[in-house]
Chains A and B, each alone.
Chain A
Amino acid sequence: MTRSRFLGLGYLAPYIVGLVIFTMIPFVGSFYLSFTDYNLMDAPRWTGLKNYIELFTSDRTFRKSLSVTLIYVFTTVPLKLAFALFIAYILNYKLRFINVFRTAFYVPSILGGSIAIAVLWRYIFASEGLVNMVLVSLGIEPVNWFGDPTNALLTISLLRCWQFGSAMVIFLAALQSVDKSLYEAAEIDGASKFTSFVFITIPLITPVIFFNLIMQMVQAFQEFNGPYIITQGGPLKSTYLLPLYIYDEAFRRFDMGYASAIAWVLFIIIMALTLVAFWSSKKWVYYAGDKRS
């Protein structure tokens, strides 16, 4: 028994070592650094709550960056989930070449986070890019996507929405697991496709919606590549998400202590929203076989 326990730990060791070295130590280290003044070249100097006080009392950039991040998350996540569910619903039909379509729709998720796609995005939405060419050909005025602060964040959100593949695949698996007899019964009772979708499909896949919601929310809070490559946080900091601010403070202004404090505030926000989501899930997530449901 003891031997097999050690064997199990041995198998887990590579993961545990990686977790401790690359996650836990930096995690604890950044918490300590958030209470210091640390410029990377000199030893950290303990400053207590100074960084946090500055963040919440006098840092206009933090307030701007935080509001941009929240707007980004609260628009991107629902949009992406809705789009992923919509496409999954279509791909759940028995169509010819359905596997080709499923693969094609998943491909953006593999490519989406890459630098090359971010650069491509920049050209697609440029003033004389593909999107504006289409708009002009339809007789619509071209849009200043990157130069106008109100539009710039939308282009970044669209890039994230475009990478809907992983959420879509999970939705697709959930849709396929819904008992077909429920749809047949509903059809006999005269329910339309839309009614079946709202009253059968949605309730039965709420655990998956909940899972995707949490995962996508956490990922959206950590968005970096898109705004870094496409807009560099501009114009007027309208796409200056918190991860960009953390990066700039740490590696451009060499204020690792302050950057750590921002990172911890971001962590607490994500944690709080996740807890709210878990708390609310009792009221809207249906688990088949759960007696409380």
Chain B
Amino acid sequence: MKSTLKAAIICSSLVPCILMPAHGADLRMSWWGGESRHIATQEALTACGAKHGHTIAPEFTGFSGYLEKLTTQMAGGTEADILQVNWPWLPLFSRTGTGFADLRDLSDQIDLTQYSDKDLASVTVQGHVQGIPVSTSGRVFFFNKTTLDAAGLTAPTTWEEFFTAAQELRAQKGDDYQLFNAVSESAQLLVQLAVTQKTGKDMVDPETNRVAWTVDELAAGLLFYQRMVDSGAIQSRKDEAAEGNVKLYEKTSWSQGQIGGSYEWNTTYFKFSDPLAEGQVLDSYPMVRFADAKTDGVYRKPSMLLSISKNSDNQDAAAQILNCLMNEPEGITALGVTRGLPASAVAMSALEGAGLIEPQLRKAHDIMMNSTGPAVSPFNEHPELRGVFIDTMEEYSYAMIDAQEAAEIIIDSANDVLSQFDPS
């Protein structure tokens, strides 16, 4: 009798676990971002959690260090249920399409019809949908209109106009002024832009998964960068280091309009316009091109994806929340454009209808979407490949090696990295 009673108690305590629907789950979500994204996402999680009856613990940080944290968690199987993942990291975490939960298996909870086939293809690995594409982002040209106007200049449309404007700006306003900013990642992407415009090719050949450029083509790109330094259009690597590698939007010279522009992600417009002194106006402009460019060379890619952990005990609940964040009014309204203009059709239409898309963001987005360029490989941003590119550019900037040697080192090292991903 006693043992029967004990068994009944145990069974009755287990029944709710077995029959428990995707309600009342305790979830975690991790992301990177700035202050506005942190606040908006927490609001969205509260709203979506209340709607679906789940509790979601937020785990947020800046971009710096997020990859390291995520990697450690993924290695230990302790990652959050819902994860923000940078698109170029897909080959790192899900080489065979099994790094995250396949969202097709959760399509009764997530409305995948809101996304274009192209967007879904970009987050699909070997037939497995590894996340929801959040938005598309790309590099665009921002110029300080006030600075240009004060010097009687217009934003350049060709690189020759660019160099003339750089010279004119210094002649008019003094040597404290420079037309443009390019350091570290931005400098690397400017070199890539120049080579892509000349060759019409992305750095990584999608067919062979090797560097698509020849040594001479890349060396020409590096010489183009050096011309920018020599002409005073941008600051040298050494001078940037002397300033303590301060971020552009933290520089006084940027806020005072002494730096005329930069080549930045379209979604970061307000990060760069907010610090400007009162009266200064930042605007987005079409891609600056070579006269004989084969393409605009825009560096455009899915910005990030929201994935569900394959180790999550509550994948259905996580999928409900994910769908709410991206496709339901509570999430859409709270998140706004804090992750760029949404890829979700219903979210885009809701935000446009409510007038929640700032015209400056819309303009930068349209320029990026309307510019031409080859498809960008996620391997462009492989940490090791990017590290080699930037380190070698630094050696070149300090005149330790010439452009030809630098190009050879970059291509050889990049091919070494890419070969690690050859099918075994």
Closest beta carbon of chain A to B396's beta carbon, Å: 11
- Is A232's CB within 8 Å of the partner chain B? yes
Closest beta carbon of chain B to A177's beta carbon, Å: 43
Q: Which of B21-29, B106-114, B240-248 contacts A (4 or more CB under 8 A)?
A: B240-248
Q: Which residues of A contact B35 (CB under 8 A)?
A: none
Within 8 A of B (CB), among A144-159: 144-149, 152
Known A-B contacts A126-B244, A251-B71; A236 and B398 likewise in contact (beta carbons under 8 Å):
yes
> Is B243 in contact with A126, judged by CB distance below 8 angstroms?
yes
> Is A253 in contact with B242, judged by CB distance below 8 angstroms?
no
Q: Which residues of B contact A147 (CB under 8 A)?
A: 238-242
A38 to chain B: closest residue by CB: B75
> Is A40 in contact with B242, judged by CB distance below 8 angstroms?
no
Q: How far is the CA of A146 from the CA of B92 in the complex (A)?
A: 33
- Is B200's CB within 8 Å of the partner chain A? no
Within 8 A of B (CB), among A114-161: 122-123, 125-129, 144-149, 152
- 1/0 per residue, CB under 8 A from A, across B229-245: the answer is 00000000111111111
A129 to chain B: closest residue by CB: B244
Top-10 shortest CB links A-B:
A147-B242, A251-B68, A40-B75, A147-B241, A122-B244, A127-B242, A147-B238, A126-B244, A253-B384, A144-B242
Q: How far is the CA of A42 from the CA of B238 in the complex (A)?
A: 40
> Is A126 in contact with B71, judged by CB distance below 8 angstroms?
no
Partner of B71, one of A40, A128, A149, A234: A40
Q: How far is the CA of A145 from the CA of B383 in the complex (A)?
A: 28
Interface size on B, residues (CB 8 A): 28
Partner of B242, one of A41, A123, A126, A230: A126
Partner of A253, one of B72, B75, B383, B394: B383
> Is A234 in contact with B394, judged by CB distance below 8 angstroms?
yes
- Is B74's CB within 8 Å of the partner chain A? yes
- 1/0 per residue, CB under 8 A from A, across B272-312: the answer is 00000000000000000000000000000000000000000
Closest beta carbon of chain A to B235's beta carbon, Å: 10
Main secondary structure of the interface of A (DSSP, over half): loop
- Is A113's CB within 8 Å of the partner chain B? no
Q: How far is the CA of A248 from the CA of B99 in the complex (A)?
A: 22
- Is A235's CB within 8 Å of the partner chain B? yes
- Is A254's CB within 8 Å of the partner chain B? yes
> Is A236 in contact with B387, judged by CB distance below 8 angstroms?
no
Q: How far is the CA of A63 from the CA of B237 in the complex (A)?
A: 24
- Is B8's CB within 8 Å of the partner chain A? no
> Is B241 in contact with A41, judged by CB distance below 8 angstroms?
no
Interface size on A, residues (CB 8 A): 28
- Is A193's CB within 8 Å of the partner chain B? no
Closest beta carbon of chain A to B370's beta carbon, Å: 35
Partner of B92, one of A41, A126, A152: A41
- Is A252's CB within 8 Å of the partner chain B? yes
- Is B93's CB within 8 Å of the partner chain A? yes
Closest beta carbon of chain B to A138's beta carbon, Å: 19
B239 to chain A: closest residue by CB: A147
> Is A41 in contact with B74, judged by CB distance below 8 angstroms?
yes
- Is B366's CB within 8 Å of the partner chain A? no
> Is A235 in contact with B398, judged by CB distance below 8 angstroms?
yes
> Is B237 in contact with A230, judged by CB distance below 8 angstroms?
no
Q: How far is the CA of A152 from the CA of B241 in the complex (A)?
A: 10
> Is A146 in contact with B241, judged by CB distance below 8 angstroms?
yes
> Is A40 in contact with B245, judged by CB distance below 8 angstroms?
no
Q: Which residues of A contact B391 (CB under 8 A)?
A: 237
> Is B384 in contact with A236, judged by CB distance below 8 angstroms?
no
- Is B50's CB within 8 Å of the partner chain A? no
What are 7 residue pairs bridging A and B, where the CB atoms are less than 8 Å apart in the complex?
A: A40-B72, A144-B242, A147-B242, A234-B245, A235-B237, A235-B238, A235-B398
Q: Which residues of B contact A41 (CB under 8 A)?
A: 74-75, 92-93, 95, 99
> Is B241 in contact with A252, judged by CB distance below 8 angstroms?
no
Beyond A145-B242, A234-B241, list 5 extra A-B contacts (CB 8 Å). A125-B244, A126-B242, A147-B242, A152-B241, A235-B398
Q: How far is the CA of A127 from the CA of B239 in the complex (A)?
A: 8
Q: Which residues of A contact B240 (CB under 8 A)?
A: 147
- Is B400's CB within 8 Å of the partner chain A? yes
- Is B67's CB within 8 Å of the partner chain A? yes
Closest beta carbon of chain A to B117's beta carbon, Å: 28
Closest beta carbon of chain B to A246's beta carbon, Å: 13
- Is B205's CB within 8 Å of the partner chain A? no
> Is A144 in contact with B387, judged by CB distance below 8 angstroms?
no
Q: How far is the CA of A53 from the CA of B403 in the complex (A)?
A: 31
A240 to chain B: closest residue by CB: B391
Q: How far is the CA of A123 from the CA of B93 in the complex (A)?
A: 37
Within 8 A of B (CB), among A230-268: 230-232, 234-237, 248, 251-254
> Is B400 in contact with A254, judged by CB distance below 8 angstroms?
no
Q: How far is the CA of A276 from the CA of B226 in the complex (A)?
A: 49
Known A-B contacts A41-B99, A126-B246, A253-B383; A235 and B241 likewise in contact (beta carbons under 8 Å):
yes
Q: Which residues of B contact A146 (CB under 8 A)?
A: 241-245
> Is A232 in contact with B245, judged by CB distance below 8 angstroms?
yes
- Is B395's CB within 8 Å of the partner chain A? yes
- 1/0 per residue, CB under 8 A from A, across B71-83: the answer is 1101100000000
Q: Which residues of A contact B238 (CB under 8 A)?
A: 144, 147-148, 235
Within 8 A of B (CB), among A196-237: 230-232, 234-237
Q: How far is the CA of A251 from the CA of B74 in the complex (A)?
A: 12
